[in-house]
Amino acid sequence: MNLITSAIGQGLLWGLLGIGLFLTFRILDFPDMTVEGTFPLGAAVSVTAIAHGVNPLLATLLAFGAGMIAGLITGLLYTKGRIPILLAGILVMTACYSINLRIMGTSNVSLLGKQTLFSTKFLTSLPKFFDSVFLGMLIIIVVVALLALFLQTDLGQSFIATGDNEKMAKSLGINTDQMKNMGLMVSNGLIAVSGALIAQSDGYSDVNMGIGIIVIGLASIIIGEVVFGELTMNQRLIAVVCGSIIYRFVLLLVLKAGFGTNDLNLISSLVLALCLMLPTLRNKFQLNRIVERGTAIPSKERNENE
Q: Does 303 bind other proteins (CB under 8 A)?
A: no
CB of 268 to other proteins, least distance (A): 28
Query: What CA–CA distance (Å, rounded) separates 91 from 28?
Result: 20
Nearest residue (CB) to other proteins, 87 versus 149:
149
Q: For residue 20, give the H/E element and its range.
A: helix 2-22
Sorted by sequence, the CB contacts under 8 Å of residue 120 that are 6+ apart come out as none
CB of 296 to other proteins, least distance (A): 11
Q: Are residues 174 and 161 in contact, defined by beta-carbon separation less than 8 angstroms?
A: yes
Q: Does 293 bind other proteins (CB under 8 A)?
A: no
Q: Does 174 bind other proteins (CB under 8 A)?
A: yes
Q: Which stretch binds other proteins (CB under 8 A): 15-23, 82-90, 216-224, 293-301?
A: 293-301
Q: Does 165 bind other proteins (CB under 8 A)?
A: yes
Burial environment of residue 235 by CB neighbours within 10 A (0 to 12, 13 to 18, 19 or more): middle
Q: Does 153 bind other proteins (CB under 8 A)?
A: yes
Residue 109: helix, strand or coil by DSSP? strand
Q: Does 301 bind other proteins (CB under 8 A)?
A: yes
Q: For residue 116, give the H/E element and its range.
A: none
Number of residues this chain uses to bind other proteins (CB under 8 A): 28
Sorted by sequence, the CB contacts under 8 Å of residue 232 that are 6+ apart come out as none
Q: Does 155 bind other proteins (CB under 8 A)?
A: yes
Q: Which of 160, 215, 255, 267 binds other proteins (CB under 8 A)?
A: 160
CB of 176 to other proteins, least distance (A): 8
CB of 165 to other proteins, least distance (A): 4
Nearest residue (CB) to other proteins, 124 versus 306:
306
Residue 78 vs residues 85, 86, 231: alpha-carbon distances, Å = 5, 9, 30
Sorted by sequence, the CB contacts under 8 Å of residue 151 that are 6+ apart come out as 157, 159, 160, 233, 234
Residues at the interface with other proteins (CB under 8 A): 149-150, 152-158, 160-161, 164-165, 167-176, 297-298, 301-302, 305
